[in-house]
Chains A and B, each alone.
Chain A
């Protein structure tokens, strides 16, 4: 159970306080409701590049990291297709240092040309390191545009290509900041052994005078339902063939998400999962398999992927994966198998909520999804999933006409 209280400043900034008397650390987390989905199609990768620039100095503070380190703190951030999240972890007695730093960069960035020039290069190296210079690293760069034709989920957070990142200008940076980095487009979450009154006073002190800016109203094109199977084969310098199957499903806040998450566990999580047991151990079709849900906030995917044994063809692997899907569609799963995946989730949940950082981040994400009041309901949501829900899900969503298949052929 994650305890919290909330208040909102006149400028629109929502604040959540999570008390925890057991830790000597405090976490200050600022989540902005902007992600790769909000990018201009010709300037993709920009939300993430912008995240880098947030560490390049703000209006009154030339360097973000140094004062935080001086106060014994550490920070990081991440961007995905939906949001951008920043966090600082520091000894609790110094939590005001993080409020000072975060409030100044919400007020205004320094916009230094040097920072833009260097971070463009850093992000291009990140693009190479994580997506281009790794075997199978570019899979999602290929898959997204096959699945999404109109919605901005059709490009990856890192961007469509290096050229679009290289072309980012200071004008783009300023425009993006004033459009998206306003108090009413953010949630500030503070966790630690603190008193509510103290938190409130310090937050008002540092964030109270940030002017409210025009509210950004998101209006993204909706992706129409998929009505035909899509498929592509690409050749790459990889050691073995691989196959990826993605099915459209509901967004993260829909109850269907919990059903789908359990389906992915039944199919591909751990050595007792169906795909591992049947396609790796028994039939020796694959050497690696996984199944997971992506949890997009506007539209979701359930994905199955596998690496093939050398002597197995892509057609054979595809056929065998479909045979497993046919099985789960035909026969409702029994109680023991359902209990198994629910029990696994219970363990994961307890361990994942141990670090204060994870609890604080969860509050931030749920708030931005608009479901803060459901942050402690996950266990009951998973518990409520029935064998019928699963039967219904696999029979409606995991269909050929709702599938996208990417096959990677190893260049010989």
Chain B
């Protein structure tokens, strides 16, 4: 046995991805059902086009979402949460810039009871003033805690400057906004956005009878499309400092607007991003953490929203080395533009990504997450197998060209907090 020699390995085979079955309910409500689940778990996610980009007033979308189960004509907030807990149900509120809704977790034996409570709570939700005041005081406290954290400060400034403060995506809440929000704002938002047909992602081996319950529920919604003009952005380029006194670490966030997942550069760019900062062995980690010891962690990623895609590098580093860390981040961008990626590194990253696809597709809940990506980005069902094929074919020359195209220092927004 030679310990210096690695055992043979085989590249991950094709992705064994199972997609959910689509069931058309009433009034345009779409249900995607993953029923091949081997235990008693049920997760149901209900999402509306009710994300923050639709709001007329700061905090309107998030507080409407927070207060969805805060009391109805029949039950108080207390009764609702007690009943959900009694049946072992967990509810998580979901909110991003595009969508909002709830995720419900429970066991098969109680899922009909759990859903019954939620259905009832939503049907006549009353948005009581005292519940709003309670959530506002909780929210205000959390806001104050968050805005003492350098990573949050850098993220807020980055969002504002990347999209521009005129664009809905560029909005961030301020402390004063908590004083402006009124009960009427929530009622109006609920009426406008939560009566349109939602999409439901159901993962669990539920009975056909439960599907019929959902079908009956779906009659309450109206089929209409919220038409919103695609946003225009006015990104800032260059340095933005967010001072925070006595910070031991500074949060760095560098990035730029990109493209959506249908763009021809999307697949190869994901490979480039993985090499750059997308995994533990990335160029950024190897340099800034494993060689220099400036940080506990550094990474890069690409996010794609309905109206925009963007690239970001994020890290928290000792305040005394922040300028050095920024320099190294650009140095790694530069290297990708001038040097060809060695064959061994490319092979390693391709294999790592194939393994990552398998990890991300392990189990029904994970597969549903992969499907949601296909659904919301309007991608073909062959998206993941296409992705894998595309990765195999990417060459070092192609990656260098992509780096020249997208990783130019003078096109980056650079935020440093602390």
Could you list which residues of chain A lie within 8 angstroms of chain B, going by C-beta atoms?
Answer: 22-25, 59-61, 65-67, 69-75, 89-91, 93-94, 96-97, 99-100, 104, 107, 117-126, 128-130, 132-136, 205-206, 209, 237-240, 270-272, 277, 280-281, 284, 287-288, 307, 309, 336, 339-341, 343-348, 350-351, 353-356
Contacts and interface: CB of A to CB of B under 8 A. Distances in A.
A277 B144 contact: no
A279 to B, nearest CB: 11
Contacts of B137: 284, 287, 309
Interface string B143-177: 01100111000000000000000000000000000
17 contacts: A60-B3, A66-B281, A67-B6, A71-B351, A91-B10, A91-B12, A100-B3, A128-B318, A130-B296, A205-B1, A239-B141, A284-B137, A340-B85, A343-B110, A345-B88, A347-B107, A350-B40
Contacts of B358: 24-25, 72, 91
Contacts of A350: 39-41, 107
B82 interface: yes
B348 interface: yes
A372 B381 CA distance: 44
Interface string B400-418: 0000000000000000001
B30 interface: no
A71 B9 contact: yes
Interface stretch (B189-197, B218-226, B286-294, B326-334): B286-294
A251 B1 CA distance: 44
Contacts of B47: none
Contacts of A271: 77, 81, 85
B144 A347 contact: no
B28 interface: no
A281 B365 contact: no
A135 B149 contact: yes
Given A71-B355, A122-B296, 5 more contacts: A22-B363, A94-B10, A128-B248, A133-B418, A134-B148
Contacts of B267: none
Given A72-B351, A347-B106, A284 B134 contact: yes
Interface string B4-24: 101101111100100000000
B78 interface: yes
A72 B138 contact: no
Interface string B107-124: 100100000000000000
B85 A355 contact: no
Contacts of B140: 287
B85 A128 contact: no
Contact of B10 (A60, A93, A130): A93
A129 B152 CA distance: 13
B148 A128 contact: no
Interface in B73-131: 77-78, 81-82, 84-90, 105-107, 110
Most buried by B among A61, A125, A270: A125
Contacts of A348: 90
B217 interface: no
A104 B7 CA distance: 13
Contact of A121 (B78, B246, B294, B418): B294
Most buried by A among B39, B292, B362, B418: B362
A381 B45 CA distance: 32
Contacts of A67: 6
A347 to B, nearest CB: 4
A91 B356 CA distance: 9
B212 interface: no
Given A97-B9, A118-B293, A347-B107, A354 B86 contact: no
A65 B281 contact: yes
A96 B10 CA distance: 11
B365 A347 contact: no
Contacts of A356: 362
B362 A133 contact: no
B49 interface: no
Closest 7 CB pairs of A and B: A72-B355, A121-B293, A239-B144, A343-B88, A287-B141, A271-B81, A60-B3
B359 interface: yes
B249 to A, nearest CB: 5
B280 interface: yes
Contacts of A126: 296
Nearest to A134: B149
A330 to B, nearest CB: 21
Contact of A125 (B78, B106, B317): B317
Contacts of B89: 347
B77 A281 contact: yes
A128 B141 CA distance: 23
A70 B9 contact: yes
Contact of A272 (B78, B291, B362, B418): B78
Nearest to B79: A272
B213 interface: no
A89 B359 contact: yes
B172 to A, nearest CB: 18
B295 interface: yes
B187 to A, nearest CB: 21
B38 interface: yes
